[in-house]
Amino acid sequence: MTTFRDLYDARVADGTLTRDPAQEAALAVLEQVRAALAAPEPRGWFGKKKPPEGPMGAYLWGGVGRGKSMLMDLFHEASPVPSRRVHFHAFMQEVHEGMREARARGERDPVTPVSESIIDDVRVLCFDEMQITDITDAMLVGRLFEKLFAGGVRVVTTSNRPPRDLYKDGLNRALFVPFIEMIEARMIVHHLDAERDYRSDRLAGERVWFTPADVGEAIESMDLPRIWAKLVDGPPEGLTLRVKGRDLELPDYHGGVARASFDRLCNRPLGAGDYLALAGSVRCLLLTQVPLMSEAHANAARRFVTLVDALYEAKVRLIVSAAGAPEDLYRKGDGAFEFERTVSRLREMASEGWGAEAAST
């Protein structure tokens, strides 16, 4: 039987991957999950299906660019049973829509038909970037996972943080703690403690702040394969983040890399929750068309500050096309003095190797 180690070794041999001891350690975890999947489904009296035995999945966490998504994709590709790979936020969006439809049909407990539909379709769910930022998701996800596990659906997920840090400081977090305990009890939690940030390697030697006289030239350079195609391995798949009952849509998203304009992210009534959800869902953001701002743009400037703060704390790589250098963006207006901290952060984020050490802790 071909193991995950066999698949990994083959890709190292053909040059697709570079051997990494931390990734190899995670392969053993994924192999435990696959072995549990390959075992016959337990049955009780009269052939009644019993709750499955063994680990109900794996929770891989660690810094950005360490290979978590690659390993999850390897699991999805080689899964011996029907599996689905989906970004966690996109999945929760689908769950909410399914629950709305169930309520419209008069279902008293909409979680049940939604979970049953998933159980009928797949045996494994592969989630990229598990991150809880919305109170409605926090209240729902525990019941949903309990039903999925009981129905034999296993979960392989990635995250930038350990389970104990999910929904950290969130509203009514005490109600969310049982879900964390469920993850720790029923899934294999594994820290992918790789030293190397492979995604940052792709940006080695590249500029990350573009300030030509013609901003359009910078935008064009970001659209060309020189940067975008270095970071993504396919066409944009899009991502919708649901935050406090509204949607933040990122049409240009693929594999943890997003591209969006200043207008989309800062000229709309977004808040800290939106930017935290964004920072928790991407590894790299290409932000285009950042203008020089005046007092008339004070609201947009404040949103830009909040966005940068969220990206900075999450160690998200930031690539920018702007009408000027960071210190030229907002020289005069309400909050201009405080903006100096944002300038300092932008300069730090544009430095070579920024975030590498913190992302691995």
Which residues fall within 8 angstroms of residue 347, CB to CB, at 6 or more apart?
Answer: 326
- Which pairing describes strands 83-87 and 154-159: parallel, antiparallel, or unpaired? unpaired
pLDDT at position 234, please? 74
pLDDT at position 359, please? 38
Confidence at 357, pLDDT banded by 50, 70, 90: very low
Which residues, listed in sequence order, are joined to residue 259 by a DSSP beta bridge? 252, 286
pLDDT at position 353, please? 66
pLDDT at position 272, please? 82
**320: exposed, middle or buried (Cβ count in 10 Å: 0-12, 13-18, 19+):** buried
Confidence at 15, pLDDT banded by 50, 70, 90: confident
Reported as a single tens digit per residue, the pLDDT across 307-337 is: 998 898 888 889 898 889 999 999 888 888 8
pTM for this structure?
0.66
Q: What φ, ψ does residue 254 adopt, rounded to 5°? A: -160, 125
Query: Over the chain, what is the mean pLDDT?
Result: 84
Reported as a single tens digit per residue, the pLDDT across 42-79 is: 665 655 666 677 789 999 998 766 788 889 989 998 88
Reported as a single tens digit per residue, the pLDDT across 283-300 is: 889 998 899 999 899 999
Is the pLDDT higher at 90 or at 70?
70
Task: Express as a percent the part of the chain with pLDDT over 90.
Answer: 39
Domain ranges of the chain: 4-191, 198-359
pLDDT at position 358, please? 37
Residue 153 backbone class (left: φ over 0; alpha: ψ -120 to 50; beta: rest): beta
Contact 345, 312 (CB under 8 A): yes
Contact 350, 211 (CB under 8 A): no
Reported as a single tens digit per residue, the pLDDT across 207-250 is: 778 886 545 555 555 544 467 777 877 788 888 887 777 889 99
pLDDT at position 110, please? 96
CA quadruple 267, 272, 278, 280: dihedral, nearest 10: 170
Say whether 286 sits in a helix, a strand or coil: strand
User: CA 361, CA 359: separation in Å to the nearest integer?
Assistant: 6
For 4-191, CATH gives: 3.40.50.300
User: CA 70, CA 110: separation in Å to the nearest integer?
Assistant: 34
Reported as a single tens digit per residue, the pLDDT across 95-110 is: 988 999 999 999 999 9
Residue 132 has pLDDT above 90, yes or no: no
Give me 246's structure tokens.
């509204």
* Sign of the torsion formed by the C-alpha atoms of 19, 21, 24 and 26: negative
Residue 360 has pLDDT above 70, yes or no: no
Q: What φ, ψ does residue 12 adopt, rounded to 5°? A: -70, -40
Residue 192: closest CA among 161, 231, 232: 161
pLDDT at position 90, please? 77
Residue 206 has pLDDT above 70, yes or no: no
Q: What is the largest CA-CA distance in the chain?
A: 76
